[in-house]
Amino acid sequence: MKTVDIFKYCALSAAFMLGLQQAAASPSIPLYDKSFSFVDASPAAVSSYRDTYMQAKQAFKDGEFEKGRALQSSLPKDYPLNLWLDYFYLSREPSTAKFNDVMRFIKENKQQELSRLLRNTYVHYLASRGQYTLVDKLLPKKPFDENAKLTSSQKALMCRFYESKWQNGKGSEDAVAFASKLYLQLGRQPSDCNGLFAIWNSRGYLTDRIKLEKFERAYIQKSYRQTTNSLASSLSSSSFASRVNEHMKYYSDPLSIFDSLSVNSKADKRIAVLAFKRFAKQNPSKAANLYSTFVSRFKPSEIEAIDIKKILAENLLSRGRPLSDVKWVDKNLPAVGWTENIKEQRLRRAIWFGQWETVYKLLQSMNKEFVSQTNWKYWLGRSVYELGHRSKGREILAEVATDRSFFGFLAAQFLDEDLPFNEQTISRWVSWPGTVEDDPAVIRFFELYGMDDGDAVFEWREIAKNSDDDVAMLMAEWSLRQGNTAYAIDSVVSSGRWDALAYRFPIVYFDIYKKQSKEQGVSLSFMYGISRQESMLNPSIRSPVGAVGLMQLMPGTAKMVSRQRSWNYNGTQDLVIPSNNVRLGAAYLRDMLDKFGNNRILAAAAYNAGPGRVVRWESKDGIKRDAAMYVENIPFAETRKYVQNVLLYDAIYQKLLTGKEGALLYANEINYNY
Catalytically active residues are 534
Task: List CB contacts of 162: < 8 A, sequence separation 6 or more.
Answer: 174, 175, 178, 179, 196
Backbone angles phi, psi at 41, to 5 degrees: -160, 165
CA dihedral sign, ordered 525, 526, 527, 530: positive
What b/e sequence results for 280-313 when a residue is b if at least 16 CB atoms lie within 10 Å of its CB, and e otherwise?
A: bbeebeebbebbeebeebbebeeebbbbbbbbbb
Nearest Cα residue to 592 out of 520, 484, 493: 520
Whether the CB-CB separation of 279 and 250 falls below 8 Å is answered with no
Whether the CB-CB separation of 374 and 403 falls below 8 Å is answered with yes
Task: List CB contacts of 92: < 8 A, sequence separation 6 or more.
Answer: 60, 61, 63, 65
Helix (H) or strand (E) segment spanning residue 426: none
Backbone angles phi, psi at 542, to 5 degrees: -125, 135
The angle at the Cα of 292, spanning 290 to 294, to the nearest 5 degrees, equals 65
Helix (H, G, I), strand (E, B), or coil: what is residue 93?
coil
Whether the CB-CB separation of 549 and 541 falls below 8 Å is answered with yes
Backbone angles phi, psi at 548, to 5 degrees: -130, 140
Burial of 599 (0-12, 13-18, 19+ CB in 10 A): buried
One-letter amino acid at 478 equals W
Q: How far is CA 201 from CA 172, 180, 208, 231, 259, in A?
A: 15, 10, 11, 15, 40
Whether the CB-CB separation of 405 and 648 falls below 8 Å is answered with yes
Separation between Cα atoms, residue 74 and residue 68, nearest integer Å = 10
Cβ count within 10 A of residue 484: 20
The angle at the Cα of 310, spanning 306 to 314, to the nearest 5 degrees, equals 165
Burial of 508 (0-12, 13-18, 19+ CB in 10 A): buried
Nearest Cα residue to 258 out of 279, 240, 243: 279
Nearest Cα residue to 384 out of 375, 393, 395, 376: 393
Separation between Cα atoms, residue 446 and residue 40, nearest integer Å = 13
Nearest Cα residue to 167 out of 137, 143, 142, 131: 131
Radius of gyration of the chain (CA): 30
Whether the CB-CB separation of 272 and 263 falls below 8 Å is answered with yes
Helix (H, G, I), strand (E, B), or coil: what is residue 6?
helix
Separation between Cα atoms, residue 128 and residue 115, nearest integer Å = 20
- Of how many residues is the chain composed? 674
Separation between Cα atoms, residue 449 and residue 33, nearest integer Å = 10
| Paired strand residues for 553 | 548
CA dihedral sign, ordered 241, 246, 249, 254: negative
Separation between Cα atoms, residue 39 and residue 579, nearest integer Å = 39
| Paired strand residues for 542 | 548
